[in-house]
Structure 1
Amino acid sequence: MTAITNQPVLPAVEPPSWWERQTDLIMRRPFNEWTFTHINRLMPTVTVARGAVSRPLPFRPLPLDLTYYFDGADRTMDDLHRRTHTTAFVVLHRGRIVHEAYPGWFASARTRMQLWSVSKSITSLLVGIALADGAIGNLKDRVIDYLPDFRGTAYDGPTLADLLDMCSGVGDTEVWDINSPIRRFERAVLNGGDVTEIIKAAQRTCEPGDRFNYSTFDNQMLGWVLEAATGRPLASYCSDRLWGPIGAERDAYYGLTRSHPRTAVGSGTFNATARDLARVGQLMVDDGVVGDRRIVPADWVRRSRGSDLPQVAVGALGDAEPAHYGYANQWWTLGESAFHAFTGIGVHGQFLFVDPGAEVVIVKCSAWPTEEDHARDRETITAMRRIADHFA
């Protein structure tokens, strides 16, 4: 294993104070239904501006009188929303809204939803665009080619390709224990603290490319690489190259770190309406094209549908991840049985499900009681596959 020198080590951390643990409270039910629709009331933000012209989504609602079989019983869509705390639910088929519901107390078609790690899939699209632009040279480029301040840390060595597939070799299983690295990162973002130093202190646990390890830090690094490569803030680049071109109805926004210099948390604070997120999914169904304009390279879209790397194949991600997932390009893949379906996922039950074979996009925003819930995840994927099969 490569030795890492001059790597900062954070001092031992005292248990968080009551003030710092407020963030835990606002992420729990029932408070999180409000939290996830009002992040701009809780932290600084930066606008991702829509374009001058919104591209309409045809609206042709159909009754979704389907059942899906889960845990020994046939269940309805109303069961899904109740059992998995759905706040927003939009289904597109062939670019048309065929079903839309907002069971959440504060949700509507105009509400910007906190998408958590679905944000990572947005970052991936921006990397693909920057690669096509020539701002990023090659996926074999090393992280430190763009971020030299990270020389001597665990990120001195991994390539951009390693980060895109969560195979950087940095860190271990991402858990939400009170003093885990991801919790410390979250508290630094919300309460003030140096997020850069927290990432610089992360330890290398294996050689880059050896194994999958889900890491918010990997994606945050990709966002910083984008800013360094393009010379532009993440929100501005996203607005000009993605959000405007897809014809979004409303401005989106990123949350910013509370401490200065403020930086967009590209790994987990993108907020947008469910309809606009569905437009992103439709972009992926249409191989990166909107109308007659190419937004994302076709090979980048296809790279997101699956990978030949054995360590990110469906069922090979390790005991910490559900067996029905693989990973590719900052998306969770679902394999051949779902017509090459793939999905962006955020904690507390956020999904951007894309099934190109069925020409179906499903957005599900939720307010789960905990960050992760494998049973609710399995139920959600079961229901989404049932919907896609119906339209296919």
Structure 2
Amino acid sequence: MKKYQIKTIVVTTIFILSLLSSCQVGRFVWYNYANITDYKIFPSRTVHKSTVPFTFYQSATGNTPKKIIAKNSLDHNQVFDFDTYLEESKTVAFLVIQNDTIKYENYFNKYNQSSVSSSFSMAKSILSILIGIAIDDGLIKSVNEPITNYIPELKKNGFDKVTIEHLLQMTSGLDFDESYISPFSEASSYYYGTNIRNAISKLKLKNEPGQEFEYTSGSPQILGLILERVINGKTVTQYLEEKLWIPLGMEYEASWSLDRKKNGIEKTFCCINARARDFAKIGRLYLNKGHWDNKQIVSEAWVKKSTKIESLNGSAPYYQYQWWIPNKNSFMAEGHLGQFIYVNPLKKIIIVRLGEKHGGVVWWSIFDRLSKNLGQELLH
């Protein structure tokens, strides 16, 4: 072997080892791409289940269509078996609930009712609920407060004009690379890195806040830091457990992934790890305008604001307070790879879809069609 070839191999080896020695880049290279089983690779805090679980009624007969008309690989309409369609689109859990009754529940690829899946960005919607509760509790005064009231160290970075509402609506003007392709992007740093608090302290703005919508994972992570600072020594996980997981009668323990084991902070932009039925209860809470068994868990005004189509102060009409609003009849939490909690208040329907991949499906359209055609033989 020639000397220059040996030198190239040595240099390449040193470069690779240096990458792997960096925890963030090493995780990115090793794990390659986010997966719904990533709860296994990150440290986490446990969310304890309720001792008085709430369970949905079970329908004696299925009410979902047995067939579905959908596009095939050639972009032509074709009739598919409904279960096959779900399985081939890499769905692992699909749950349809109407009037507190499970009309359809199925699991695929060795998943079952007790299988855990990462929420990915559905956690943003759950975080929004916790922010609303913190306001109800008087821990946060108003969404109109500047975030520097709670994170004063960001003043030097020009965040004085950024309010909590700007973060909720993704109109903060944050300079944040949302790419999950590059190991050096902010999104990868937050997902694979081990010091999110430090990463937040380095954030900058690229636009004036309140001018335009731009989806970034940095905004909900800043909200998570604010929440951590106002809940009187509790962890964000403990607040989730106290305010939602136990009051909503969750059937299973869950967890929230952290950036690191010792003194870690929750990845509030993602990564609540739970089961389909318990995710559905988040939908039920908002279906009932924040009420749960005659108790107001979060204010009705917060739910209304979070799910109302409007475009004030640069916000997008289809996105309010970390919830997606595809049309006037429905709203949903959505996560990477096609995780969904869909709610249609008019039809009293909740749909949860968890998947290994998005599957090339416009899922909110499928959910809307199911809401209109529940009980029919063919979904068209």
Say yes or no: TM over 0.5: yes
Residue 365 of structure 1: aligned partner: 354
CA–CA distance in 2 between the matches of 1:154 and 1:97? 49
Residue 5 of structure 2: aligned partner: none
Root mean square deviation, CA, Å:
2.3
Residue 366 of structure 2: aligned partner: 383
1:129 to 102, 118, 133: 133
2:295 to 293, 296, 321: 293
- The normalised TM-score by structure 2 is 0.85
Structure 1, residues 266-299: CA drift from partner, whole Å, max 9, x if none?
2111011100000110111111111211111111
1:274 to 252, 273, 276: 276
CA–CA distance in 2 between the matches of 1:154 and 1:115? 32
CA–CA distance in 2 between the matches of 1:59 and 1:159? 44
What is the deviation of 1:79?
A: 4.4
Give the 5 Å matches for 1:1-392.
17-18=19-20, 20-23=25-28, 26=31, 28=33, 36-37=36-37, 39=39, 41-60=40-59, 61-64=61-64, 65-70=66-71, 71-76=75-80, 77-105=82-110, 107-172=111-176, 174-178=178-182, 179-188=184-193, 192=194, 194-231=195-232, 232-258=234-260, 260-309=262-311, 311-314=314-317, 326-336=318-328, 339=329, 341-368=330-357, 376-378=360-362, 380-391=363-374
- Could you tell me whether the CA contact under 8 Å between 2:153 and 2:201 is conserved in 1? no
What is the deviation of 1:126?
A: 0.6
SS in structure 2 of the partner of residue 376 of structure 1: coil
Q: Tell me the amino acid that sits aligned with residue 320 of structure 2.
A: A
What is the deviation of 1:239?
A: 0.8
- Could you tell me whether the CA contact under 8 Å between 2:210 and 2:315 is conserved in 1? no
**Rg larger for:** 2
Structure 1, residues 67-97: CA drift from partner, whole Å, max 9, x if none?
2443431444334323421111111111111
- Could you tell me whether the CA contact under 8 Å between 2:95 and 2:276 is conserved in 1? yes
SS in structure 1 of the partner of residue 205 of structure 2: coil
Structure 1, residues 204-251: CA drift from partner, whole Å, max 9, x if none?
111111011111111011111112122221111111111111111011
Q: Tell me the amino acid that sits aligned with residue 333 of structure 2.
A: G
Alignment CA distance shift 1:181-1:172 (3 Å): closer
Q: Tell me the amino acid that sits aligned with residue 215 of structure 1.
A: T
Alignment CA distance shift 1:391-1:82 (3 Å): closer
Q: Tell me the amino acid that sits aligned with residue 264 of structure 2.
A: R
Q: Tell me the amino acid that sits aligned with residue 295 of structure 1.
A: I
- Could you tell me whether the CA contact under 8 Å between 2:326 and 2:364 is conserved in 1? no
CA–CA distance in 1 between the matches of 2:107 and 2:32? 20
**Tell me, which stretches of 5 or more residues in structure 1 are unaligned?**
1-13, 315-325
Alignment CA distance shift 1:263-1:388 (3 Å): same
SS in structure 2 of the partner of residue 182 of structure 1: helix
What is the deviation of 1:150?
A: 2.2
- Could you tell me whether the CA contact under 8 Å between 1:174 and 1:215 is conserved in 2? yes
What is the deviation of 1:312?
A: 3.5
What is the deviation of 1:23?
A: 3.7
**Tell me, which stretches of 5 or more residues in structure 2 are unaligned?**
1-14, 376-380
Residue 7 of structure 2: aligned partner: none
Q: Tell me the amino acid that sits aligned with residue 195 of structure 1.
A: I
- The normalised TM-score by structure 1 is 0.82
Q: Tell me the amino acid that sits aligned with residue 300 of structure 1.
A: W
- Could you tell me whether the CA contact under 8 Å between 1:93 and 1:391 is conserved in 2? no
What is the deviation of 1:172?
A: 4.8
CA–CA distance in 1 between the matches of 2:136 and 2:271? 25
Q: Tell me the amino acid that sits aligned with residue 376 of structure 1.
A: G
